Amino acid sequence: MIAPRLTRVRDLSQVWYERLLSYHYDAALVKVTELLAETQTDENGCMVTVTAEPRKVRFMSGQDRAYRFVYCIQNQLATNRHQVVRHLCHNRRCMNPRHLTIGDRRDNLNDDRERRANGVDWHTL
C-alpha cells in the first residue's frame, strides 16, 4: 500500500497575497498609501481609522482587514491563516506599520495577557 502524499494547502488569503505581490505590487502600494493618508494620528502615534471597528479593504477581487493589508504589502509577505498581524499598541483600528508585527495566535494571546497585567509600554513603539 502506498502512503498518500502530504501536500501543503494554501488558503485563499495566502494565494491572494501571492498574486498581489507578484502581479499587482505597485498598485497595492498605491492603495496602502491611500489607506494611510485617510487615517488620523493620535497622541500615541497610532494611525487610526475613523471607523468604529477595524477597517476592511477591497482590492483586486479580495478583501481583508486594512491593517493586515498594509503590513503584508509593505513587508512583501503572503501570510497564511495561521499567521496573525499583531498590534504592538493593542489598538485594532491602528494601521501604523511601525505598530504592526507578525505572529501566531499564541503570540497574540500572550500579548493580550501581558497588556492586561502591565499595560502598554509606549516607549517601545
**Digit-coded pLDDT (tens) for 12-31:** 889 999 999 999 999 999 99
Q: Does residue 7 surpass a pLDDT of 80?
A: no
Tell me how far apart the alpha carbons of residues 123 and 121 are, in angstroms, rounded to a whole number: 5
Handedness of CA 17, 18, 23, 29 (dihedral sign): positive
pTM metric for this prediction: 0.83
For 64-101, write each residue's pLDDT tens digit.
999 999 999 999 999 988 899 999 998 999 999 999 99
C-alpha cell at 19: 498574486
**Residue 32: per-residue pLDDT:** 98
Residue 98, in any domain of the structure? yes
Instruction: Work out how many domains the chain is built from and give that number.
Output: 1
Residue 30, in any domain of the structure? yes
> How long is the chain?
125
Residue 36, in any domain of the structure? yes
Tell me how far apart the alpha carbons of residues 98 and 87 are, in angstroms, rounded to a whole number: 9
Secondary structure of the chain in the HEC alphabet? CCCCCCCCCCCHHHHHHHHHHHHCHHHHHHHHHHHHHCCEECCCCCEECCCCCCCEEEECCEEEEHHHHHHHHHCCCCCCCCEEEEECCCCCCECCHHHEEEEEHHHHHHHHHHHHHHCCCHHHC
Residue 4, in any domain of the structure? no
Q: Give residue 107's pLDDT band: very low, low, confident or very high (50, 70, 90).
A: confident
C-alpha cell at 28: 497595492
Structural domain of 67: 12-124
Residue 6, in any domain of the structure? no
Residue 100, in any domain of the structure? yes
**Residue 16: per-residue pLDDT:** 95
Instruction: Name the more confident of 3 and 59.
Output: 59
Residue 1, in any domain of the structure? no
Residue 5, in any domain of the structure? no
